[in-house]
Amino acid sequence: MPDLEEPFFLFAEREGTKEKRTRASPTLACEDGLAYGYRTIGGMELLERIAMDTMNRRTFLGRSGAAALAVGAASTFSINVLGANEKIRVGLMGAGGRGSQLLEWFAQRPDVEVVYVADPDAGRSWKCANLIEKASKPKPKGIQDFRQMLDDKGVDAIINATPDHWHAMGTILACQAGKDVYMEKPLSHSMWEGRKIIEATRKYKRIVQVGTQNRSAKYCRAALEFLRSKDFGDIHFMRVMNSKPRNAIGKLPDTDVPAGIDYDMWLGPAPMRPFNMNHFHYNWHWFWAYSGGDIINDGVHQIDLTRWMSGQTYPLSVSSTGGIHHFDDDQETPDTHVVNWDFGKMTVVFEQTLWSPYMKKVPTPVREGDGFPNWMFTGTRIEISGTKLFMNLARHGGGWQAYDENWNVVKEMHGKFSESNTDHIENFLDCIRTRNEPNAPVEEGHLSTAWCHYGNIAYRTGRKLFIDPKTEGFVNDAEADALLKRKYREPWVVPEQV
C-alpha cells in the first residue's frame, strides 16, 4: 500500500475562477465553499474535496448484493406513523461534499437523530461522525457497508448521497428494508434504473423525496402560477442554461487502492478497473461508468425546474451536439453541450459551457433575496418565452422577473435558497409522519432525469432520436436502446423484479 499522509485542512472560498484558501479545522462542505484535504498517493500530493483520515480497513460484510436484495425483500417491515414529537432516526449513505452538507442540515433539527454515517472511504464516514459529535449531538456510528444500517430496524430513513451509479441500488435496498429515502439528484444512472426505483417506492409504500429542492421553493411555486395565467400567454420556447467555470482534472496514473477504502464497495455495479483518483471522489461525475457529466450533475436542477414550469413529459425527439472542446484531461463527458428537445408546439434548448469565467451561479446574497441576478451572465438561468411576456427564472434562490414587449418588468419575486432547502427537508420529514406524497416524488424526478438521459444518448450516438413514451425508449434504434440500461458487475445487480 502507498503511504497515506495525515491531511491538513483548508477552507476554499470561490471568488470567480480564483480560490482563497486558508488553514482551518475540518468543516462540513457548504454550497459555495468546499472542505479539502491533501492525500499523498504514489508520491503525488492530491487535493480532495473532503478530508480523509488514516484508519485500518474494516471487516467487509460478506453478503452479495443479489443476496442482500432478496433478503431485503423478504424482511420488509413498515414504520408506524410517527408522532409529532418523536425523533426520526436517519442514516447517511455517501459522506462526500453533498452528503456531509445534507447531514449537517438534518443534524441541526431537534426532531432528527443521525445514527449512522456510511461511506466506503472509512476516513469520510468517521470524519462526519466526529463532526456530529463535536456539534454536541450524539455521535453516529461510522461504517463502510451501508447495509448495516438497513438491517437496523430502529432506522427510519436514509439519506442517499452516493455517486450516481449507486443511486438505484441503494434506494431500492432501502425501500425493501422499510426505510424512507431522501435521494440526491439525479434519480438514476440510466432510464431503466429510474423505472425500477419507482416500482420499489410504490411496491414497498415508501416516502422517497428527490433532492430537487426548487420544488419546495415558494418563489418557484409563484412563478408556476403566473406562467399558467392568461397574462403570460402560450409558451413555445424555453432556454436552459448550465454554464460556469470548472477546473481541469488533469491526467493521473492508476495506483494502488489507498488505505481505508473499500474499493469493491465503491465501484458497486460499475465495471472493475484499477484505482485512479480521477475516477474517485467528485471527479467520477465526468465518466460514463458512474454519471453523465454536468447536464445530469448540476443541469438537472434547471431541467427539472423547466419541465415543471413547462408541464411537459416525454419529448417527441431529441438531438444533441457538443464535445470536449476546451479541456485536455481524463474526463469523458462534454465540456460543451447543446440539447434540443422537441415537444411539437414547444421547443426546449439546453446550453452548457464549463470553461466560461464570465458565466456564474447566482451570488449568495442574491440567492437570499438581495436584488436580482445579472441575468445575461447568470449561467444557471431559465428563459421562458410566452406569446405575451418573457420570464427570467433562477434556480436555488435568485427569484424571477417577467417583462412585457417594451422590456418593462411587470411582475417579479425574490427567492431564498436557504428557505427552500429547509422547506424541502421539512416536507420530507412531514411526509414520513403523515405518509403524504412529497413535493419531489420519484415519478417527477424520473421524467426530469429522463430528459438528461435522452440528451446524453443523442450526444453519444451522434444523431436525432425519436422517443417512444410507452417504452421510454427509442423508435427503431437498437443502438440507442442499448444505452437505456447499464451492464451490471456481479453481484451488484438490480433485478428485474424489485
CATH code where residue 101 lies: 3.40.50.720
- CA dist 322 and 355 (Å) reads 13
Is 342 inside a domain boundary?
yes
Is 331 inside a domain boundary?
yes
Say whether both 197 and 340 belong to one domain. no
The answer to whether the peptide bond before residue 186 is cis (omega within 30 degrees of 0) is yes
Is 383 inside a domain boundary?
yes
Structural domain for 98, as ranges: 65-213+434-442
Q: What is the pLDDT of residue 134?
A: 86
- CA dist 445 and 493 (Å) reads 22
Say whether both 350 and 392 belong to one domain. yes
Say whether both 201 and 291 belong to one domain. no
Is 488 inside a domain boundary?
no
Q: What is the pLDDT of residue 370?
A: 82
* Number of structural domains the chain divides into: 2
Any idea what DSSP says for residue 360?
B
Query: Do 211 and 301 meet the contact criterion of CB atoms below 8 Å apart?
Result: no
Say whether both 224 and 121 belong to one domain. no
Any idea what DSSP says for residue 76?
-
Amino acid (1-letter code) at residue 463: R
Is 163 inside a domain boundary?
yes
Is 368 inside a domain boundary?
yes
Is 224 inside a domain boundary?
yes
For each successive 10 residues of the chain (498 residues), what is the average pLDDT? 28 33 32 36 36 29 37 40 78 96 95 97 94 89 97 98 98 98 98 98 98 98 97 98 97 98 98 98 98 98 98 98 98 98 98 98 92 97 98 97 98 95 97 98 98 98 98 98 97 96
Say whether both 209 and 223 belong to one domain. no
Say whether both 234 and 148 belong to one domain. no
Q: Which of 118, 130, 132, 219 is nearest to 174 (CA)?
A: 118
Matching residue, cell 445579472: 374
Say whether both 314 and 175 belong to one domain. no
Say whether both 127 and 236 belong to one domain. no
Q: Tell me the three state secondary structure of residue 125.
A: helix
**Which CATH number do you get for residue 355?**
3.30.360.10
Q: Tell me the three state secondary structure of residue 124.
A: helix
Q: CA neighbours within 13 Å on the CB side: how many for 369?
A: 9
Say whether both 284 and 371 belong to one domain. yes
Cell numbers describing residue 34: 468546499
Say whether both 226 and 176 belong to one domain. no
User: Distance from CA of residue 133 to its chain's centroid?
Assistant: 26
